[in-house]
Structure 1
Amino acid sequence: MNLESGTKFGPYEILSSIGAGGMAEVYKALDTRLNRTVAIKVLHEQLWSDPQAKERFEREARTVAALNHSHICTLYDIGEQDGARYLVMEYLEGETLAERLRKDALPVNEALRIASDIADALEKAHQQGVVHGDLKPGNIMLTRFGPKLLDFSLTKPVQTSGVAAPDPMTTVSAESDRRILGTVEYLAPESLEGGDLDQSIDIWSFGCVLYEMLTGKSAFGQRTLSETIVHILKHDPDWELLPASTPLSIHALLRVCLAKDRNSRPNRMLGIARALEQPSVSGPKHNLPQRLNAFVGREQELSDMTSALAKHRLLTLTGPGGVGKTRLALEAAQKLLYDFPDGVWLVEFATVVEPQFVNQVVAAAMAVHEQPARPISETLFEYLENKSTLIILDNCEHLVESVAAIAEEILSRSRGTKIIATSRGSLSLPGERLWRVPSLSMPTHRFEDVPIQELHNYDAIRLFVHRARSVAPEFVLTPSNSSAILEICNRVDGIPLAIELAAARIKVLSPRQICERLSDRFLLLRTQSGTKEPRHQSLQAALDWSHDLLSGQEKQLFRQLGVFAGGWTLEAAEAICTSGGDLPVFEVLSFLTDKCLVQTKPFQDGMRFELTETIREYACEKLKRAGELAAVSNRHLMHFAHVAVQAELKLQGSEQQAVLEELAAEDDNFRAALTWGLQINPEVALEAANALSDYWRIRGRLVEAEGWLERAVKQEVSEQDQIMRARALCALGLIAIAQGKPSPATQFLEEALEKFRERNDEFGVARCLGNLALVALY
C-alpha cells in the first residue's frame, strides 16, 4: 500500500515516505496528540494474510518494547487500521551506516566509538534473551546522539511459506526446507549451514560491520551469492586492508569475532565493548596455548559451563582421565578472553610434584615476581586484589590440599577473580560448583543401526571423523564404514582421548580393522606425539595417572570392582570386595566416586554403581596382576548365586515385579558369574542356573535359559549335587515345552524323573509327571 501525505493512521498523520524493505514500508508521520515526529512501519499489504509474516512483525514489537537502551530505536506504539498492522517508532534524523560507508571508511577512533555503542546495545539485547539476527550497516542509524540499532524483525529463524518474493541477497535456503533469513554477506557460517543459532551469530555479524567500518570494504561480500557463501565458509577477510593505525588488540578482536567455529568466538558482547573502549597495543592478556587442532562439539557443555561460571566464582571440572577436562576448560577460557580485562591465566600442575611449589607456579603463570623478604603468595594476592581475572588451575588432583588453600585465599582477597579448576575430584571449598564432564554424545541405543545423516549430530562421531581427516584428508563417513565408527566410539565409551587415538590409526587401518583390534585397546590407543604430555599419549597413561594418585586402600577396592559386569549395589561391593585397611568399603567407594573413577545412578530406592567399560578393563588387568582374580571371582560367583536363590523364593509372590527389576539389573553379573562358575565351581553354577530358570522363563528368554542349563547339566558334579542336576533337567523339559519341542522335553523330563525317584524326591517326581502330562497334550 502507498500512503499519501496527509493520510490519517489513527492519531498519526502521514507526512512522507521514508523507504521500504522486504516486509514493510516506513513513513515519516506526526503524532497529533503529542505534536512530535515519529516513524511508522506498516506491514506490506500482500503480507496481511500471512500468519508467519504477522508473527514476525508482532515479535519485533514485543522485542523492541522490552529493550530500553539509548542505542536501540525506541518503540512508542503498535496498532492496526483497516487490516494494516503498524509499529510507531522513534523518528531518527541522520543517515544509516551503510549510506555513510558508501562515501569512505571511517576514521579508526570514530569506528571504534560506534562499534562500542553497538556492542553495548547488543549486550542489552542478549541479556534479555534476544538475538538480533540481521546486524548490518543498513540497520544502524547514525544520529547526532550516537548510533541507533534498528530492525529486530529477525530475532530468530522462522519457517517461511508463501511469503512474497524476497531479495535474493537477503534470503538463503538451507539444505532442509527451512530458510535462513538475514543479509548473506553478514551471516555466520552456522547460519548458512542451518545450525542452531544463538548470540554468537550477532558476534560474527558485529565483526563484519567493524571490519567494514575500518576498511570501507565488505569482509566477505563477493560478486555473486554463491561466491559470497564460499568466502564465508572457506576464507578469511583481507586483513592487510585494515588501517596501519588499527590497534593490535582490535586486530585480535576481529579475528576471534570472525572465527569460523562459533565456540572460538567471545562469549559476550560485554567484553567486546570493554575492549573497544580501551584498545591496547596488544590483544587480550592471557597465556593460553595455541590450538593445534579444532575443538569439535561440546556446544551445550560450553554453554552450561559459562552459565555456571556467571553464578559461581569457583567451577571445578571433574571426570576420569581422557574425558577432556583440560581441553574444555581451555575452550571456555578462549570464549571468555574479553570478559576479564586483567587477563585469563592458565596454571598447569601436571608436572608439579612438591606441594610447596604451588604458590610459585601460580605466580609465575601470571608473571608475578618474588620480592625480597616477602612470601610470593602475599605478592600474588596483592597483585590480584583489584583485578578482574580468570584463572584456570589445571590437573589439581595430586596437589588438592595446596591448590585448595591458594584458591580459597585468592577468592577471598580478589573479588573480581574467578577460577576454573580441573581435577579428578572436588577441591572441597565453600561455594565450589562441581561440574562433571561427560563423555561425548552418542546414540542412546548404542548398537542399533542409526541413519548416517543422524550420526553427524553426535559429538563422538564428529570428533572421530574430524581427527581421521587430519591424518587422511580423503576420509569421509559413509554407509559402509558408519557402523564400525559407531562401534569404535561405543567401545571406548565416548572418551575423547580414546577416540582421537583411534582415529589416528586411519592412516594404516580401516574403521573395521580398528574395531577388530580394540580387544587390546590399551596397546592400540597410543601415539608418539612430541607435542603431548605423556599422560595424553596413550589411554593407558591417562588411566595410570589417575590410578597412581589413589591410596593403597583405594587401589585395592578399585581393582576388585573390575569383577563386576554392568554395575553393582553397595551390598554387592561389601559382600565381594575388601578395602585392605581400617576404612569400610562404602567409604572407600565414596572416595572413588568423588574421584570420578566410579559412576552412580539412581535405582529403585537406592543407588547403583558402575565403571565405564574402558575403566573396567583397566581395573580387571590390575586385578589379574595383583593375583587376586580367582579369589574375587569366586566371591562374586558365591554372592550372585545367593542373590539368585533368594530371588527365586520371591518370584511367585507379591514382590514379583520389584524382584524382576532387581534381577534384570544384574543380568551381566549373572552371566559373568555363570561363565566363571562353569569353569571353576560347576556345583555353584548349577545351583545359580536352576534358581534363575524361572526368571528367564517369565521374561521370555527361553534360548538363554536353555543355553545356560544345558551347559550346567553337562558338568561333572558330586553325588550329593545330582538332585540339582535333576532340577536343571526338569527346567529344560519345561522350557522345551514352551518352545513347542515335545521330543526333547520328554527326554529331559524322563531323565529328571529317574533321578528324582532314585533320591525319593516326591516334589520333584510330581513336577516331572505334571510336565510330562503337558507333553502328552501335544
Structure 2
Amino acid sequence: MSKSLDLAEGAAPDRPERHHSLRAAFTSSWGLLTPGEQRALARLSVFRGGFERPAGSQVGGAPLRTLLGLADHSLLRRDREGRFALHEVVRQYAAEALGMDPAEFGAASRAHAAHFLALAEEAAPELLGPEQARWLERLSTEHDNLRAALAWLLERRDAGAALRLAAALHWFWYVRGHHREGLALLEAALALPRVSGAARELGEYPAARARLDEALLLSQGAGARTQEAKVLHALGLNSRGLGGLEEAQAFLTRAEAIQREVGDRWGLSTSLNDLGITWLLRGEGARPPSLRGEPGPQGGHRGPARGGLRPRQPGERLG
C-alpha cells in the first residue's frame, strides 16, 4: 500500500499543476506515516461525513493512539465533541491508496456496512420511543455514512443486508422528510412493504397500492402477523388518500385486531389514531371506534382522563 500513490500518480500525468501540488503534499505526509498508520488512513477513507472513535477502531482498525497520530500529521481533524473527519481531498487520495488493494478495500467496506447496519437496527426501535429525538439526530449525523453503506450493499447485490438497512431507516426517512430518496433506495433494495409509505407521501397512490397488495400476500404467506398489520394499516391510509373511507376503515380495523392479538402497542396506537380520523371524515352514521382509554406506545394512555376531551359523537351539538 505504501507504493499505491506513486502508481496512481503515474497513471494520470495530465492533471492540473494545483492537483500535482496537493498530491505532492499528501505524498510527503504519507511517506512519514508508519505502515500501520498508512493502512488505517486508507481504511478510514470509506467513511463519509466523519466518524466516532469506536467506528474508527472497528472499521479502520485504528485505536485512539493511531487516530491522534494522524491528527498530529494534519491528516485527520477532531472536533470538540470528539468526532473525527478527513478533509475531502485527503479522503480522496487515501481512497485511491485503498483502491489499489482490492482485498483491503473489500474488508474495509464490509466492516463499514456492518457497523452502520448495526447502528440503524439499534436505532429503529428507539425511533418509536421516548428517545426518538436523540436517535433522529444521531442518524442525521451519520446520514452520509448510512447512504454510503447502503450504496455499497446495493452495488454488491447483498439483498438481505440492503433490505435490513433500508427497513431500519424507514422511520428516519419518513420523519425527516426524505421520502423521494427513501423510495428510490427501497425500490433498489427490492421494494420492502414500507416502500409504499414513501410512494404515498409523494402522492403515488396507485403505485403504493400495487406494492402493498403484494406485501400483504407475502406477509400472510410468511405468517408474519406484525408485518401483516403494518401492511393493512398502510392499505388503510392509502385507501383514505384515494377517498375510499369505508375501505380504509375496514383495513384499519383489521390492523387493529391483529395488533391487539400480538400486543403491538405502538402499532395499535397509530391504528386507533387513524381509525379516529377516518371516522371523523366519514361523518354522520359511521360507527365510532372505541378510542378512550387506549394504551399509548410507551404504556401511557391516549384517551383523556375523566372530565377531559373526547371525540364528538354523531349528532351531538357543541355545548
Q: Which residue of 2 aligns with 1:707?
A: 184
Match of 2:99 in 1: 624
1:567 is paired with a residue whose SS is coil
Q: Is 1:558–2:34 an aligned residue pair? A: no
Give the letter for the 2:68 counterpart. Answer: S
1:105-164 CA-to-partner distances (Å, cap 9, x unmatched) read xxxxxxxxxxxxxxxxxxxxxxxxxxxxxxxxxxxxxxxxxxxxxxxxxxxxxxxxxxxx
CA distance in structure 2 between the aligned counterparts of 1:751 and 1:633, rounded to whole angstroms: 33
The two structures, once aligned, show a CA RMSD in angstroms of: 1.9
Distance 1:586 1:690 in 2: 33
Aligned to 1:589: 67
Please report the TM-score for the alignment, with normalisation by the length of structure 1.
0.29
- Give, in whole Å, the separation in 1 of the partners of 2:15 and 2:97: 18
1:526 to 17, 22, 27: 17
Taking the aligned partners of 2:200 and 2:13, their CA distance within structure 1 comes to: 47
TM-superposed CA distance for 1:646, in Å, is 0.5
Distance 1:614 1:773, change over 3 A: same
Q: 1:727-760 CA deviation, whole Å, 9 max, x = no partner?
A: x532111222222222111111111101001111
| 1:687 matched residue in structure 2 | 164
Query: Which of 548, 554, 575 is matched with 2:31 structurally?
Result: 548
Aligned partners of 2:199, 2:142: CA distance in 1, in Å? 25
Instruction: State the shift of 1:569 in Å.
Output: 0.6
Distance 1:708 1:522, change over 3 A: farther
Following TM superposition, by how much is the alpha carbon of 1:686 offset from its aligned partner in structure 2, in angstroms? 1.3
Deviations 1:543-597 (A, max 9, x none): 1000000112111111111111111111111121225xxxxx1110011111110
Question: 1:537: how far off?
Answer: 5.6
1:522–1:762: structure 2 CA closer, same or farther, 3 Å change rule? Answer: farther
SS state at 2:192 partner: helix
Query: For 1:634-656, what per-residue CA distance to the aligned partner results, in whole angstroms no more than 9, with x for missing partners?
Result: 11111111111111111111211
**What do the CA deviations read for 1:514-554 (whole angstroms, capped 9, x no partner)?**
xxxxxx99952327xxxxxxxx9622111100000011211
2: CA distance, partners of 1:771 / 1:625: 47
Normalized per residue, the structure richer in strand is 1
1:568 aligned counterpart, secondary structure: coil
Matches within 5 A, 1:352-751: 524-526=15-17, 538-579=21-62, 585-602=63-80, 606-627=81-102, 628-680=104-156, 681-713=158-190, 728-751=191-214
Give the 3 Å change call, closer, same or farther, for CA 684–749 of structure 1 in structure 2: same
Distance 1:729 1:560 in 2: 31
**TM-score (ref. length: structure 2):** 0.68
1: CA distance between counterparts of 2:13 and 2:123?
Answer: 38
Match of residue 768 from structure 1:
231
Kept after mapping to 2: 8 A contact 1:522/1:540: no
In 2 relative to 1, CA 522–631 (structure 1 residues): closer, same or farther, beyond 3 Å?
farther
Quick one: distance in 2 between partners of 1:634 and 1:560?
11
- SS at 2:193 equivalent: helix
Distance of 1:545 and 1:729 partners within structure 2? 48
Distance 2:28 2:109 in 1: 26
Using the alignment, how far apart are the partners of 2:32 and 2:100 within structure 1? Answer: 18
Looking at secondary structure, tell me which structure has more helix per residue: 2
Measured after TM superposition, the shift of residue 600 of structure 1 is 1.4
Letter in structure 2 aligned against 1:767: K
The percent identity for this pair of structures is: 34
1:612 shift after superposition: 1.1
How is 1:203-282 mapped onto 2 (pairs within 5 angstroms)? Answer: none
Query: Partners of 1:617 and 1:566 in 2: how far apart?
Result: 13
Aligned partners of 2:74 and 2:159: how far apart in 1?
Answer: 37
Given that residues 525 and 539 in structure 1 are in contact (C-alpha distance below 8 angstroms), is that contact kept between their aligned partners in structure 2?
Answer: no
The amino acid that maps onto 1:698 is V
Q: Is the contact made by 2:159 and 2:189 (CA closer than 8 Å) also made in structure 1?
A: yes
How far is 1:776 from its partner?
1.9
Deviation at 1:775, TM superposition (A): 1.8
The one-letter code matched in structure 2 to 1:776 is: S
Distance 1:555 1:700, change over 3 A: same
Provide closer, same or farther for how the CA distance between residues 738 and 578 of structure 1 changes in structure 2, counting only shifts above 3 A.
Answer: same
2:71 and 2:77 in contact (8 A); partners too:
yes
Structure 2 runs not aligned, ≥5 long: 1-10, 243-319
In the aligned structure 2, how far is the partner of 1:768 from the partner of 1:729?
A: 11
Using the alignment, how far apart are the partners of 1:743 and 1:647 within structure 2?
Answer: 31
* Aligned 8 A contact 1:522 1:538 in 2: no
Q: Structure 2: how far apart are the matches of 1:773 and 1:754?
A: 16
What is the identity, as a one-letter code, of the residue corresponding to 2:76?
V
Query: C-alpha distance in 1, partners of 2:107/2:239?
Result: 47
Give 1:694 deviation, angstroms.
0.6
Matched residue type, 1:575? Q
Contact 1:640 1:669 in 2 (8 A): yes
Change (3 A) 1:614 1:677: same
CA distance in 2, matches of 1:765, 1:682: 21
Distance 1:698 1:521, change over 3 A: farther
Q: Answer whether contact 1:733 1:744 (CA < 8 A) is retained.
A: yes
CA contact (8 A) 2:43 2:60 kept: yes
Deviation at 1:771, TM superposition (A): 1.4
CA deviation profile, 1:323-378 (whole Å, cap 9, x unmatched): xxxxxxxxxxxxxxxxxxxxxxxxxxxxxxxxxxxxxxxxxxxxxxxxxxxxxxxx
Closer/same/farther in 2, CA of residues 653 and 736 from structure 1, 3 Å limit: same
**Greater relative CO, 1 or 2 (CA 8 Å, sep 6+):** 2
Tell whether the 8 Å contact from 1:648 to 1:694 is kept in structure 2 after alignment. yes
Contact 1:599 1:611 in 2 (8 A): yes
Structure 1 residues 609 and 523, CA, compared in 2 at 3 Å: closer, same or farther?
farther
